[in-house]
Amino acid sequence: MNKPFLIVGGGPAGLAAAKALANVGQDVTLVEKEESLGGAPILSGYAKLVPTGEWASDAIGGMADAVTEDARINVLTGRTVTEFDGTPGAFSAKLSDGATLDATAAILCTGFTHFDSVNKPEWGFGTYEDVVTTTQVEQMISSGQGVKCPSDGRQPKRVAILLCVGSRDRQIGREWCSKICCTVSSNIAMEIREELPDCHVYIYYMDIRTYGLNEDLYYWKSQEEYKVKYIKARIAEVTSDGEKLIVKGEDTLVKRPITIPFDMVVHAIGMDPNVDNMMIASTFGVQLQKHGHIDKQDSYGGIGRTSRAGVFVAGAAMGPETIDDSIAQGQGAAISALSVLQGVEAAE
Ligand SMILES: Cc1cc2nc3c(=O)[nH]c(=O)nc-3n(C[C@H](O)[C@H](O)[C@H](O)COP(=O)(O)OP(=O)(O)OC[C@H]3O[C@@H](n4cnc5c(N)ncnc54)[C@H](O)[C@@H]3O)c2cc1C
Ligand code: SF4
């Protein structure tokens, strides 16, 4: 009998990889640093997911339950891997609690870190209570408390959503598009309009990237059915006149300065590399790419390969990713990891 497969990280990618391996009769050890499984959608309290419209607690919570209940999967939460040695088929790992375990191969599913909006101080987060992030609005909706201004609990009458906060911003070293935040923001805008029909919602954008079928389902639907307004603009700063938040910038279509009052401003925050990545790279002996995501090798020969044979990667650990794609990559990396049993990885 071969050794178990080690999955590091219990978000959508890790849950999918663990289940895929267990479903073909393999034993799996899943190591998750937080106390519960589910990754960002559960740990950050996302509401209804795009594009399915399912509640995160049902969809990803269901995946976590299926993994927890699977007798082939040994779930170890509240722990990290501190040492990892050996060769494909015969790895050994040491955990933060001192335990050791053997592994045939490892799949790194360690995900991302939400951009911290205090790194964009001119847009008011951390200075004004009613400047919030998309994750905070998701939590307001998923907790059932509803969308309210944190400063005094009133329902906002005017909400601005600023896109690309912590993405596509070379000044702060974040050159990537976070892929999902346009669609998530359109969805949040519709949810606000549904909950508060008198509230006007404006989305300020550089470009809209509701890619693929989301263009129709979110971009057009939010305008035509929910009357969400989209303004192409360059935002300079968010200030306050003591009563309202003031969004200042330039409407880049008509090339005119804008100064507009709002009750609430929402930052559509991006996906940073996991803050643990330097540590993970050093523990597992894998390379990072230039922005600090885990580097994947050849995309076509074997999905999810890293620079070290027998160590694979899936999901947002490699860069901004959607849940669907993270799940697919988790399953793909599981197939690649199985090749270690045939000696394929060791031989290449
Ligand atoms: C505001 C916002 C809303 C979003 N909404 C959607 C949506 O509606 N639909 C959609 O498709 N996508 C959405 N996304 C993207 C979605 O969050 C990601 O696609 C998804 O979380 C990626 O899954 P993952 O498993 O790769 O990573 P994660 O979800 O980040 O999971 C990684 C797991 O690894 C664990 N971990 C990290 N480091 C270690 C370590 N050193 N050791 C052990 N464990 C570790 C973490 O605790 C976590 O449990 C959204 C993103 C944002 C920012
Ligand atoms: S998905 Fe949209 S909001 Fe997110 S970084 Fe890309 S363009 Fe900006």
Q: Is the pLDDT of residue 258 over 60?
A: yes
Ranges assigned E (strand) in 225-347: 229-240, 245-251, 256-262, 264-269, 271-273, 311-313
Mark whether 173 and 239 lie in a shared domain: yes
- Interatomic CA distance for residues 331 and 314, integer angstroms: 9
* Tally of CA atoms within 13 A in the half-sphere of 28 that contains its CB: 32
DSSP assignments along 64-103, one per residue: HHHHHT-TTEEEEES--EEEEEEETTEEEEEETTS-EEEE
Ligand 1 centre to CA of 274 (Å) is 10
| Structural domain span for residue 299 | 5-111+274-347
Rounded to an integer, the average pLDDT of 17-21 is 98
Residue labelled with tokens 């509640």: 55
pLDDT score, position 300: 82
Are residues 147 and 155 in contact, defined by beta-carbon separation less than 8 angstroms?
yes
Mark whether 264 and 279 lie in a shared domain: no
State the total domains in the chain: 2
Mark whether 81 and 140 lie in a shared domain: no
Among 212, 247, 271, the domain-final residue is 271
Are residues 251 and 233 in contact, defined by beta-carbon separation less than 8 angstroms?
yes
Q: Is the pLDDT of residue 59 over 50?
A: yes
Q: Is the pLDDT of residue 254 over 80?
A: yes
Q: Is the pLDDT of residue 344 over 80?
A: no
Rounded to an integer, the average pLDDT of 264-281 is 98
Mark whether 99 and 123 lie in a shared domain: no
**CB of 316 closer than 6 angstroms to any ligand 1 atom:** yes
What are 166-204's pLDDT values in tens digits?
999 999 999 999 999 999 999 999 999 999 999 999 999
Ligand 2 centre to CA of 233 (Å) is 14
Rounded to an integer, the average pLDDT of 59-74 is 98
Are residues 149 and 263 in contact, defined by beta-carbon separation less than 8 angstroms?
yes
Ligand 2 centre to CA of 164 (Å) is 5
- The closest residue, in CA terms, to atom 6 on ligand 2 is 177
Mark whether 281 and 267 lie in a shared domain: no
Amino acid found at 181:
C
Mean pLDDT computed over every residue of the chain: 96
Among 223, 256, 271, the domain-final residue is 271
- Interatomic CA distance for residues 47 and 142, integer angstroms: 4
Are residues 133 and 272 in contact, defined by beta-carbon separation less than 8 angstroms?
no
What are 134-174's pLDDT values in tens digits?
999 999 999 999 999 999 999 999 999 999 999 999 999 99
Mark whether 267 and 292 lie in a shared domain: no
Q: Is the pLDDT of residue 348 over 60?
A: no
Mark whether 136 and 266 lie in a shared domain: yes
**Nearest-5° Cα angle at 76, 75 to 77:** 110
Q: Which ligand is nearest to the CA of 163?
A: 2
Rounded to an integer, the average pLDDT of 69-76 is 98
Question: What torsion do the CA atoms of 333, 334, 340, 342 make, to the nearest 10 degrees?
Answer: -120
Rounded to an integer, the average pLDDT of 209-235 is 97
pLDDT score, position 206: 96
Q: What is the pTM of this model?
A: 0.97
Q: Is the pLDDT of residue 246 over 70?
A: yes
Mark whether 342 and 233 lie in a shared domain: no
Mark whether 67 and 89 lie in a shared domain: yes
Which residues make beta-bridge pairs with 267? 133, 162
Closest-CA residue to 329 (of 76, 16, 11): 16
Mark whether 248 and 303 lie in a shared domain: no
Any idea what the CATH number is for the domain that residue 143 is in? 3.50.50.60
Rounded to an integer, the average pLDDT of 331-341 is 96
At residue 347 the predicted structure's pLDDT band, cuts being 50, 70 and 90, is very low
* Tally of CA atoms within 13 A in the half-sphere of 137 that contains its CB: 30
Are residues 274 and 285 in contact, defined by beta-carbon separation less than 8 angstroms?
no
Mark whether 183 and 324 lie in a shared domain: no
Q: Which ligand is nearest to the CA of 16?
A: 1
Closest-CA residue to 344 (of 313, 301, 288): 301
What are 290-315's pLDDT values in tens digits?
999 999 997 788 899 999 999 999 99
At residue 345 the predicted structure's pLDDT band, cuts being 50, 70 and 90, is low
Mark whether 34 and 135 lie in a shared domain: no
Among 244, 271, 298, the domain-final residue is 271
